[in-house]
């Protein structure tokens, strides 16, 4: 009796070539709707599922393959009693299942798609066949990825059958395929009910591999880059690499940090990142001025840095960036003139991420721990003037208030303990990742030097002692922004008052571990 394969695919890449190879090997083909039409148009013999089951497709195609003559044919084990039962029921065994699923992810990615359209693109029969075949991989082979067609055909031609190892590998890929499919559906429904259940009982997430990376943080660590089933517009995972060397693990970490930082500003802002911390951030009348000022904040650290800009890169900005060595640049887009200029630096990685929408939604943040992982909402909180509480005798001037808000948005993106000194919309000093706050302040103020006079200072968390305020006063800082909430707040306020500084509390901190 000839072997039989059932083929039902949404992605028809390589379908005809696979089917023709099977027919040449003497296999019989069973298929459904559009797949059957494609095979017939290629001149290949195919039997419709309805002819096998003796039952028509019903409910607008919702029920096609959900039938004992299909699932019995797939699930029967190679046991005498199972084979006898198939014969008794008039069922012929199926030996190969070739299925990929309705384009759910592609459907929900379309602008304006309705929940009704999304639901109709949830495949039921396909996953059922895939899981049945994967469960019974001892006898039945299952193929969900067109990239595997060539290898499957080659092994069938050479050996007449697939080895247990190949079946097991294909079964693992099949279960991963249906798991990822279900994860995308679960993520979509979580978005529909966002706010009702932030942290479900079972947190399900899957990723599609974008690329293998040369290595991880260090050469002895393997790594890969994955994207989520639903990629938010304006995100790093959705960015297009326009030129340059292959992205590394560290490049991607820094690019994400840089892109998130500039995304917090509506005015033109440029950021230069090293080891996920900003070494220069500035705003400007246009993006070219913003970049020049960000670079001028710390030219030494900017060498070999990652640049992010929240406006498209024009020729003037490209010319400035081309003057030094940079690892990568991410921006909404690049003008043709900018690409021509930066194209002369063939190794420079350029990423066009598109405009980040005002209502940008980022998935929950995950951090692995031994035996599990932590999940939290992203730190989206943005402070404005109305949220600030002036706690000193002197109120900040309008100019100081604008500067404080700028510094506060920057310090949010610096590793704790974090201190940032800024003036005229430019970072002058950044103290990042220190074990005590006054140590972070010393680093930031020493880096700022004489430029600290007339500048403002931002702290990501409250001052446990007045020492940071005293140090800032000695350096010439005129205003401070910090969360407040320490049992020693009064000491810090008195120190600020004694120095004639203004200080405001935000009531919210930005710890970053």
Confidence of residue 194 (pLDDT cuts 50, 70, 90): low
Instruction: Give Cα 412 to chain centroid, integer Å.
Output: 20
Q: Is residue 318 part of a domain?
A: yes
pLDDT at 229 over 80: no
Residues 35 and 103 placed together within one structural domain of the fold = yes
Q: What pLDDT score was predicted for residue 55?
A: 78
In a domain, 205, yes or no: no
- pLDDT-derived band at 173, boundaries 50, 70, 90: very high
Q: Is residue 380 part of a domain?
A: no
Residues 318 and 398 in one domain: no
Looking at the structure, tell me whether residues 18 and 68 fall in a common domain. yes
Question: Residue 197: what pLDDT?
Answer: 56
Phi, psi of 309 (to 5 degrees): -135, 140
Residue 346 and residue 397 in one domain: no
Residue 490 burial by Cβ neighbours in a 10 Å radius (0-12, 13-18, 19+): exposed
| Residue among 379, 428, 416 at smallest CA distance from 279 | 428
Kindly tell me if the per-residue pLDDT of 360 is higher than 70: no
The answer on pLDDT for 441 being more than 60 is yes
pLDDT of residue 348: 97
Q: Could you report the per-residue pLDDT of 288-340, keeping only the tens digit for each?
A: 999 999 999 999 999 999 999 999 999 999 999 999 999 999 999 999 999 99
- Same-domain pairing of 169 and 301: no
Cα distance from N-terminal residue to C-terminal residue, the chain: 64
Q: Is the pLDDT of residue 489 over 90?
A: yes
Check if the beta carbon of residue 350 is closer than 8 Å to that of residue 332. Answer: no
Would you name the residues annotated as active-site residues? Answer: 135, 275
Same domain, 36 and 183: yes
- Rounded to a whole number of angstroms, the CA Rg of the chain reads 30
* Contact between residue 22 and residue 161 where contact means Cβ atoms under 8 Å apart: no
Question: Does some domain include residue 58?
Answer: yes
Is 282 within a domain? yes
Tell me whether residue 212 is in a domain: no
Quote the pLDDT of residue 419: 97
Determine contact, residues 263/353, Cβ cutoff 8 Å.
no
CB contact at 8 A, 437 and 420 = no
Domain boundary among 352, 372, 398: 352
pLDDT band (50, 70, 90) for residue 359? low
Count of structural domains within the chain:
3
Q: CATH code at 281?
A: 3.40.140.20
Assess whether pLDDT exceeds 90 at residue 344. yes
Same domain, 32 and 175: yes
- For residues 348 and 389, membership in a common domain is answered with no
Do 341 and 414 fall into the same domain? no
The whole-angstrom separation of Cα 188 and Cα 190 is 5
pLDDT at 78: 83
Contact 126, 32 (CB under 8 A): no
- Verify that 320 and 403 share a domain, yes or no: no
Residue 390 falls within a domain, yes or no? yes
User: Would residue 216 count as lying in a domain?
Assistant: no
Q: Which domain holds residue 291?
A: 236-352
Residues 6 or more apart from 371 whose CB is under 8 A from it? none
One domain, residues 406 and 272:
no
């Amino acid at each position: 009796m000839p072997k039989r394969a059932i083929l039902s695919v949404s992605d028809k890449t390589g379908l005809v070539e696979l089917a023709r190879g099977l027919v040449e090997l003497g296999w019989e083909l069973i298929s459904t709707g559009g797949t059957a039409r494609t095979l017939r148009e290629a001149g290949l013999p195919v039997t419709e599922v309805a002819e096998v089951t003796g039952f028509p497709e019903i409910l607008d195609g919702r029920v096609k393959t959900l039938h004992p003559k299909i699932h019995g044919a797939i699930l029967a084990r190679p046991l005498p009693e199972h084979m006898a039962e198939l014969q008794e029921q008039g069922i012929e065994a199926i030996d190969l299942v070739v299925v990929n699923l309705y384009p759910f992810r592609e459907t929900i990615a379309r602008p304006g798609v309705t929940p009704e359209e999304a639901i109709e693109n949830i495949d039921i029969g396909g996953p059922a066949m895939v899981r049945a075949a994967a469960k019974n991989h001892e006898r039945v082979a299952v193929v969900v990825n067109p990239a595997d067609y060539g290898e499957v055909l080659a092994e069938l031609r050479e050996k007449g059958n697939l080895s247990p190892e190949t079946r097991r590998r294909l079964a693992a890929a099949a279960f991963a395929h249906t798991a990822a499919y279900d994860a995308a559906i679960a993520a979509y429904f979580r978005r529909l009910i966002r706010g009702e259940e932030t942290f479900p009982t079972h947190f399900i997430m899957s990723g599609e591999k974008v690329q293998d990376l040369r290595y991880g943080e260090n050469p002895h660590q393997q790594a890969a880059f994955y994207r989520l089933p639903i990629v938010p517009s304006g995100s790093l995972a959705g960015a297009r690499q326009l030129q340059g060397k292959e992205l590394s693990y560290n490049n991607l970490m820094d690019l994400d940090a840089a892109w998130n930082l500039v995304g917090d500003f509506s005015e033109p802002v440029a950021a230069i990142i090293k080891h996920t911390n900003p070494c220069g951030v500035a705003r400007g009348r246009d993006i070219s001025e913003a970049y020049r000022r960000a670079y001028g904040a710390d030219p030494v650290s900017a060498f070999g840095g990652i640049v992010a800009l929240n406006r498209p890169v024009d020729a003037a900005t490209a010319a400035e960036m081309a003057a030094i060595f940079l690892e990568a640049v991410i921006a909404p887009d690049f003008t043709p003139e900018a690409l021509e200029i930066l194209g002369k630096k063939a190794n420079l990685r350029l990423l066009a991420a598109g405009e980040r929408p005002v209502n940008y939604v980022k998935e929950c943040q995950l951090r692995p721990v031994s035996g599990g992982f932590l999940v939290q909402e992203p730190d989206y909180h943005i402070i404005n003037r109305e949220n600030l509480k002036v706690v000193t005798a002197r109120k900040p001037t309008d100019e100081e208030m604008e500067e404080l808000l700028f510094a506060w948005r920057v310090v949010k993106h610096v590793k704790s303990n974090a201190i940032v000194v800024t003036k005229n919309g430019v970072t002058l000093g950044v103290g990042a990742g220190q074990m005590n706050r006054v140590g972070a302040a010393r680093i930031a103020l020493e880096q700022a030097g004489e430029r600290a006079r007339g500048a403002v200072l931002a702290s990501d968390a409250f001052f446990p002692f007045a020492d940071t305020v005293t140090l800032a006063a000695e350096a010439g800082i005129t205003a401070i922004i910090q969360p407040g909430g320490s049992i020693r707040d009064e000491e810090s306020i008195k120190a600020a008052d004694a120095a004639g500084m203004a200080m405001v509390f935000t009531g919210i901190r930005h710890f970053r571990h």
